[in-house]
C-alpha cells in the first residue's frame, strides 16, 4: 500500500497534471465542436485543477518535477485566461455614471449598454438600471414590455419616446437616436435596428439572445459530449442567420452586435463574427473583472459587444446589477 501511495504521489499525480495541461491547452486552442463540453468552463477552472494536482504532489514529496508542472500551469493560466488582460487594465479609465466622457482627444463618444433583464416582463425594474449611465444605445435580452421600454426612453431622453424603442418580446433596443427600421433576423434570437443620431451619424445595432447553453457536465458520458456539440452547432446557425439576413458585416458604416450569446469568451462561434469583420470590444479595452454571469459571483463572460472597424471601443466595464442574474456590459465607442 505504501509503495502504491508513493507511486501515486511521485508519478501518477504530476504526470496526470502535465497530461491534463496538454489536453486542455490543445482543446481550448482548437475549440473543436466534439469537445465543446470541455470549453464551457473558464480556462482557469482547469488551471486550478492542474495546479492543485501538481501542487499537492510537490507539497508531499518536494519533487522538482511536480513543482515545474504546477509552475507551467500557473504561467499558462495567467497568459491565456480571458480575465487576465482586463484585470491588468483595471487602472485605466472606465465608463462612469452620467454622460459618457469624450475620448482622450476630445472626440464625442457613444455609450452602449448590454443587459439580460432576467425575464423582463416579470422584472420590469431591470431595464431601468441603465438610466444612471445615460447610454446612447441599450441592447436588452429577455426584454420587458413595450410600455416599460418607452418609459425608460422617456426617463433617459425626455419628450416623446416614439421611434426610440423597439422590441420583439425576447430582445429590445432603446436609443437616443431615431430608429429608422428594425428587422427580426431569427425570432426570438435577434433584433436589428438602423439608428440615426441627431448629428446625422447612423449605426447598425443588433441585440442578440442565442439559445441557452447546455448544462450537462457529466463529461464522462458520451451523451453529454454530444449534447454540448449539438448545442454549439445550433447557436452557430442562429448567429450565421443574423449575419446573413441583417447584413451587418457590409463594412459601409458603424455596426454593433451585442447581447447574451450564452457562450463563453473564446468560444468557436465567435469566429463567425471575426470573419465578418467584428472584434470583441471588451477584450480590446475593458477594465476590471470581465465576467457577467451569474450576477452574484460571475464566473463566465457570456454577455458580449462586438463592433466593426467603423465603431472603435475606447473604454469598457462590467457592472453588477440589482434586478437581474446578469451584469451590465458598458462600452464607449468612437464612430468613424
pTM of the predicted structure, to 2 decimals: 0.94
pLDDT at 223: 94
Q: CA–CA separation, 203 vs 179, rounded Å?
A: 10
> What pLDDT, in 10s, does the model give residues 224-271?
999 999 999 999 998 988 887 665 546 678 999 999 999 999 999 999
Q: Which grid coordinates belong to 159?
A: 419628450
Distance CA 5, CA 226 (A): 36
pLDDT (tens digit per residue) in 92-139: 999 999 999 998 888 999 999 999 999 888 889 999 999 999 999 999
pLDDT tens digits along 304-324: 999 999 999 999 999 999 999
According to the model, what pLDDT value does residue 183 have? 84
| Torsion sign, CA atoms 271, 276, 277, 283 | negative
C-alpha torsion sign, points 142, 147, 151, 157: positive
Residue with cell 463566465: 300
**Rounded-to-10 torsion of CA 233, 235, 238, 240:** -60
Segment 60-65 mean pLDDT: 90
Query: Is residue 32 packed enough to be buried (19+ CB in 10 Å), middle (13-18) or exposed (0-12)?
Result: middle
pLDDT (mean) for 295-305: 97
∠ CA 26-30-34, rounded to 5°: 100
Listing DSSP states for 167-219 in one string gives E-SSEEEEESSEEEEEE-SSTTSEEEEEEE-TTS-EEEEEEEEPPPPP----T
Please write the tens of the pLDDT for every residue from 45-54: 999 999 999 9
Phi/psi-derived region of residue 259, left when phi > 0, alpha when psi is between -120 and 50, beta in every other case: left
73 in helix, strand or coil? helix
Q: Strands (DSSP E) along the chain, which ranges?
A: 110-116, 137-141, 165-167, 171-175, 178-183, 190-196, 202-209, 255-260, 279-280, 303-307, 311-319, 328-335
Closest listed residue to residue 242, CA positions, set 254, 222, 252, 257: 257
Number of Cβ within a 10 Å radius of residue 67: 17
The length of the chain, given as a count of residues: 336
Predicted pLDDT at 204: 93
Cell of 141: 435580452
For the ranges 105-114, 144-153, 209-218, which has the lowest average pLDDT?
A: 209-218
Amino acid at each position: 500500500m505504501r509503495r502504491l501511495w508513493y507511486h501515486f504521489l511521485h508519478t501518477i499525480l504530476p504526470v496526470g497534471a502535465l497530461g491534463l495541461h496538454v489536453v486542455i491547452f490543445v482543446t481550448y486552442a482548437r475549440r473543436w465542436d466534439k469537445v465543446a463540453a470541455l470549453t464551457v468552463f473558464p480556462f482557469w477552472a482547469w488551471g486550478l485543477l492542474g495546479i492543485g494536482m501538481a501542487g499537492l504532489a510537490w507539497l508531499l514529496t518536494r519533487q522538482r518535477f511536480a513543482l515545474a508542472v504546477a509552475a507551467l500551469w500557473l504561467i499558462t493560466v495567467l497568459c491565456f485566461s480571458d480575465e487576465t488582460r482586463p484585470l491588468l487594465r483595471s487602472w485605466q479609465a472606465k465608463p462612469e455614471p452620467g454622460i459618457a466622457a469624450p475620448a482622450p482627444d476630445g472626440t464625442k463618444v457613444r455609450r452602449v449598454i448590454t443587459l439580460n433583464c432576467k425575464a423582463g416582463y416579470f422584472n420590469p425594474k431591470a431595464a431601468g438600471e441603465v438610466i444612471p449611465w445615460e447610454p446612447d444605445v441599450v441592447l436588452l435580452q429577455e426584454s420587458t414590455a413595450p410600455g416599460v421600454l418607452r418609459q425608460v426612453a422617456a426617463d433617459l431622453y425626455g419628450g416623446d419616446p416614439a421611434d426610440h424603442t423597439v422590441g420583439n418580446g425576447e430582445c429590445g433596443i432603446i436609443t437616443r437616436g431615431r430608429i429608422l427600421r428594425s428587422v427580426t433576423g431569427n425570432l426570438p434570437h435577434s433584433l436589428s435596428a438602423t439608428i440615426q443620431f441627431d448629428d446625422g451619424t447612423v449605426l447598425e445595432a443588433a441585440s442578440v439572445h442565442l439559445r441557452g447553453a447546455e448544462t450537462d457536465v457529466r463529461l464522462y458520458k458520451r451523451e453529454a459530449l454530444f449534447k454540448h456539440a449539438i448545442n454549439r452547432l445550433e447557436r452557430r446557425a442562429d448567429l450565421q442567420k443574423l449575419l446573413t439576413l441583417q447584413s451587418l458585416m457590409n463594412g459601409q458604416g458603424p455596426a454593433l452586435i451585442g447581447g447574451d450569446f450564452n457562450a463563453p469568451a473564446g468560444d468557436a462561434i465567435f469566429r463567425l463574427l471575426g470573419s465578418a469583420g467584428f472584434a470583441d470590444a471588451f477584450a480590446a479595452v475593458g477594465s476590471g473583472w470581465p465576467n457577467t454571469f451569474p450576477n452574484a459571483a460571475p464566473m463566465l463572460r457570456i454577455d458580449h459587444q462586438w463592433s466593426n472597424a467603423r465603431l472603435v471601443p475606447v473604454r469598457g466595464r462590467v457592472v453588477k446589477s440589482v434586478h437581474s442574474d446578469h451584469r451590465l456590459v458598458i462600452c464607449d465607442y468612437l464612430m468613424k
